[in-house]
Amino acid sequence: TQLLEQSPQFLSIQEGENLTVYCNSSSVFSSLQWYRQEPGEGPVLLVTVVTGGEVKKLKRLTFQFGDARKDSSLHITAAQPGDTGLYLCAGENAGNMLTFGGGTRLMVKP
Amino acid sequence: NAGVMQNPRHLVRRRGQEARLRCSPMKGHSHVYWYRQLPEEGLKFMVYLQKENIIDESGMPKERFSAEFPKEGPSILRIQQVVRGDSAAYFCASSQGQNQPQHFGDGTRLSIL
């Protein structure tokens, strides 16, 4: 069974601070996705990383895929209250199903 | 906005009743996935379907749960004889093909009385 562990589970910070969320596994994934989920809604895809060592930037968000394709990180620079939400990483294998981490619930206080 | 459409958004059932959850994929998408999210937990894969075929149902409970994606119409996740433990948010996702990004609907929140 493939497992993805996210840390931290909860994070409460002040506006303007930086933060990093980690997603770790002992399994190799063909790709890894990061989603953000608002209460009462479905996950919204932020980025897909495919190549080991790949780094992708989305405005103030930086996503990195580990060299061995077993782990990933999401770094947010100068967090805003609008960044508040549940961040989910999900690994995809050859079978097409996504294995989700438990999520990181981020709160950014003004 | 032709995103993934799920209905109903909320469904209340009494123990022993049947629950039917519907999912219409994005236009042009022929691959459908169902996931379940228990309170305060991540999403767990249930089943992967293409038109008229179940590709992978390794995440489906062996009893009471079934899924279909007919040639015409939405995909249906059916739960027979519901129990309290079935209370969860059920999400459907669709993709254009294999190894393509999965886009999610807003889910059906199932509550069992």
CB contact under 8 Å between B106 and A42, yes or no, is yes
- CA-based nearest distance A70→chain B, Å: 17
For B103, phi then psi, to 5°, come to -110, 135
Q: What is the predicted pLDDT for the residue at A2?
A: 66
Chain A partners within 8 Å of B35 (Cβ): 98, 100
Chain B CA closest to residue A40: B106
- CA-based nearest distance B83→chain A, Å: 22
**pLDDT tens readout for residues A53-69:** 999 999 999 999 999 99
Q: Which residues contact A20 (CB under 8 A, 6 or more apart)?
A: A73, A74, A75, A76
For chain A, say whether B96 makes contact (Cβ under 8 Å). Answer: no
**pLDDT tens readout for residues B67-89:** 999 999 999 999 999 999 999 99
Instruction: Check pLDDT > 60 for residue A108.
Output: yes
Chain A CA closest to residue B46: A97
pLDDT band at A16 (very low <50, low <70, confident <90, very high): very high
* Residues B77/B90, Cβ–Cβ less than 8 Å: yes
* Residues B106/B9, Cβ–Cβ less than 8 Å: yes
A-B C-beta contacts closer than 8 Å: 64
* Residues A79/A13, Cβ–Cβ less than 8 Å: yes
Of the partner residues A45, A97, A103, the one whose CB lies closest to the CB of residue B56: A97
- CA-based nearest distance B1→chain A, Å: 14
Counting residues of chain A whose pLDDT is more than 90, the rounded percentage is 84
Counting residues of chain B whose pLDDT is more than 90, the rounded percentage is 84
Q: What is the predicted pLDDT for the residue at B2?
A: 67
Q: What is the predicted pLDDT for the residue at A104?
A: 95
